[in-house]
Amino acid sequence: MWSSALSAVRVHRAGLAGSALVVVLAAALLTATGAWVEAGLRLSASPGAQADPSAAMLLAVASSFAGTAVLIALLVVASTFAGALRPRSREFALLRAIGATTAQVRSSITAEVLLVFAVAAPLGTVPGLLLAPRLTGVLRAGGVVPEGFAMTLSPWPVLATLALLVPTALLAARVAARESARLSPATALQRSAVERSGLSRGRRLTALVLAAVGLAAAGVPFVLPGLMGSAAATTSAFLLITSAALAGPLLVGWAARRGLALGRRGAVTTLALANARGFSRRLTGAIVPLALLLALGTVQSGVNAGVVEAAERQVREGVTADLVVPDRPDVADAAARVAALPGVADAAATTLVPAQVMVDEPDEDLPFLDALGWEPTTLRTVPAQAGLLDPDVRAGDLAGLADDGTIALSREAAVGGPGVGGQVLVRIGGQERQLTVVALYDRGLGLGDYLVGERVAADAAATGTETAGGAVLVRLTAPGAAPAVRAELGAAGLAVTDAAGYAAQVRNAAAGEQGLSTWLLLALLAFVAVAAANTLVLLVRSRAPELALLRRTGATRRQLLGMVTVESGLTTLTALAVGVACVLPALVGVGQGLLGSPLPVLDVGVLAGLAVAVVAIGVVVPVAAAVRGVRGATPAARA
């Protein structure tokens, strides 16, 4: 078995080299991600973690990114191996025809996949493990890890990566060759010559169910507004992409038939459309990764833009003070100085206290995951003076924050948790306290998920906990006093702005904090782009016999390249249409959930850049591969 598998790998090394490259990149991505998850677990379990809320931040960020990275990596690896082995169905059918059993064919496929992993996995996991510490500076700048943090490497991320990738690749490879392996030799050989028309009933039903669930997920923000509803809406894009992948042959076949029915066309266009109609399954394998590339970047950039805009709006509406003195480390002293100025009716400080809030009960069977139950956050203090801050209370009363041991929650933080009168366990400076919920409010994205009174902040200061920032909120005796107060504050060396200016500063800070998520998104996009290009090259290479036959029957090189160009254009346009159609419901949901408007939240620049990338990969890569294939084809002999 191993000798035949090794021979097959040598014969098909050109096609399997692309699969090996995807394995290398996927292994590097998942190993680095796993290393950061493990580092987060170690940091959260360290002796000083309870006193440092930032200690749990790394685990929260790494585990959040790990979910997306694992999903994308497994999907890409599975589709890559399926695409590499599906064109070899005739080869597997011939093996069955000469006496190979189903078990022998499957064993040969398993051996080939394992051989590819034996070479590619070390080339990915080792660099991924070694490059993970290189991100320490970026994470430290984003406040994800504390100063002086150093990563400790271990083999566990490598083992976890292999445990995820190897079974996925084996399953995808077996599924790709299952039909040729399980049919009788004669039937397998007959069916390997052409693609099956139509889709099975189960595949159609699954596609419809996923489409329905995806559209339902996009509608969640209309029922549950806010960040949680918007997060649910983003999943609709991937559900709809999966549905489109299952129904892809029908979509491609329909587009090709519509093209053929339009009327007069040249020979090249007719040949390309007829080929797309007859091999719609093959083209679907090229459309899906391109659509995924567009959808992934568009959804993530849209969510980031929506979060930043919603945070700015909520701060602008929630800060009802006339003036704001932002970013003061000595916020209490500054508030006292401002309050003494003429024209000032009230001046009070609002500070951010680093803390951890228990959001999930610990699991006695998995104590090493206890850190996941604590959410690193900040508690914003609410001034006792009225008319300075309006979080848009929906239940309870903020006046209760004047009592010791109380807290107010945003409605998102309260989902699945305590309501008014319930208890929240908070850890401040390493000390745990039970706080009673006195109010629920709406503007959590701009003002934070947790509000406390000044007494809680004073208790935190007594433990030596340093604030994470603060501002002085100023109410004037009359609107006309603003110029004079601004002048006085400027003379005292205090920066001053109004609510709109303070909201713009919050927006800029939030946009700057998205630097890490941007780097992580770029890593995923680069991985998907390479996988998409590899899939297209594999598809063109698998058509070498077809192109050679057309060349021998009289087609010129120009006609063959024109045919491939038209097919690539059809593939690219379909991928763009599918990608946009799949992300629009998600972005409409994000707009409704974050901004209260059922309009899609789009970063036009990112969308345009992704569209250019899809066109470049979808057209340039296959045409370039076809040029090389056509160059070696033998033309028809002249009479």
* Each residue's pLDDT tens digit, 29-79: 999 888 888 888 777 766 655 555 556 667 777 777 888 888 888 878 887
Q: Looking at residue 184, what is its pLDDT?
A: 59
When pLDDT is cut at 50, 70 and 90, the band that residue 221 belongs to is very high
pLDDT at 371: 63
| Cα angle value 112/115/117 (rounded, 5°) | 110
Q: Do 444 and 465 meet the contact criterion of CB atoms below 8 Å apart?
A: no
| Residue 583 pLDDT grade (very low, low, confident, very high; cuts 50, 70, 90) | very high
Residue 166 to residue 74: CA distance in whole angstroms: 10
Give the C-alpha separation, 353 to 332, whole Å: 14
Percent of the chain clearing pLDDT 70 (strictly above): 87
Q: What percent of the chain has pLDDT over 90?
A: 12
Q: How far apart are CA 393 and CA 320, in angstroms?
A: 14
Answer whether residue 413 shows pLDDT above 80: yes
pLDDT grade, residue 521 (50/70/90)?
confident
Helix runs in 279-339, H state only:
280-318, 331-339
Length of the chain (residues): 639
Among candidate residues 188, 153, 147, 9, the one with its CA nearest the CA of residue 81: 9
Mean per-residue pLDDT of the chain:
81
Q: Pick the residue with more confidence: 210 or 139?
A: 210
Question: Would you say 393 and 444 are in contact if contact means Cβ atoms under 8 Å apart?
Answer: no
Return the pLDDT at 49.
55
Q: What b/e readout covers 576-592, taking b as 16+ CB neighbours within 10 angstroms?
A: bbbbbebbbbbbbbbbb
Instruction: Output the pLDDT for position 543.
Output: 75
- Report the distance separating Cα 610 and Cα 452, nearest Å: 43
Task: Tell me what pLDDT residue 258 has.
Answer: 78
- Provide the whole-model pTM: 0.78
What pLDDT is recorded for position 122? Answer: 86
Per-residue 3-state assignment (H helix, E strand, C coil) for 383-426: CCCCCCECCCEEEECHHHHHCCCEEEEECCCCCCCCCCCCEEEE
User: Does residue 449 have a pLDDT over 70?
Assistant: yes
At 453, the pLDDT band (50, 70, 90 cuts) reads confident
Question: Residue 126: how many CB atoms within 10 A of its CB?
Answer: 14
Q: What confidence category does residue 182 fall into, taking pLDDT thresholds of 50, 70 and 90?
A: low
Which H/E stretch holds residue 380?
Answer: strand 374-381
CB-based contact 46:54 (threshold 8 Å): no
pLDDT at 88: 73
pLDDT at res. 639: 44
What are the C-alpha distances in Å from 296 to residues 237, 304, 548, 612? 8, 12, 37, 15
Question: Taking a C-beta distance cutoff of 8 angstroms, is the pair 477, 344 a contact?
Answer: yes
More confident residue, 637 or 74: 74
Amino acid type, 124: G
CA 557 to chain CA centroid, Å, is 42
Query: Per-residue pLDDT for 360 more than 70?
Result: yes
**pLDDT confidence of residue 580:** 93
194 pLDDT band, cuts 50/70/90, is low
* Predicted pLDDT of residue 638: 47
Q: What is the DSSP letter of 328?
A: -
pLDDT tops 70 at residue 406: yes
| DSSP-assigned beta bridge partners for residue 497 | 324
Q: Which pLDDT score is estimated for 216? A: 95
- Under DSSP, the state recorded for 87 is G
Give the SS3 label for residue 46.
coil
H or E element that contains 470:
strand 470-476
Given a cut of 80, whether residue 262 has pLDDT beyond it is no
Q: What is the pLDDT of residues 109-147, one digit of tens each?
A: 888 888 888 888 888 888 888 888 887 777 777 667 777
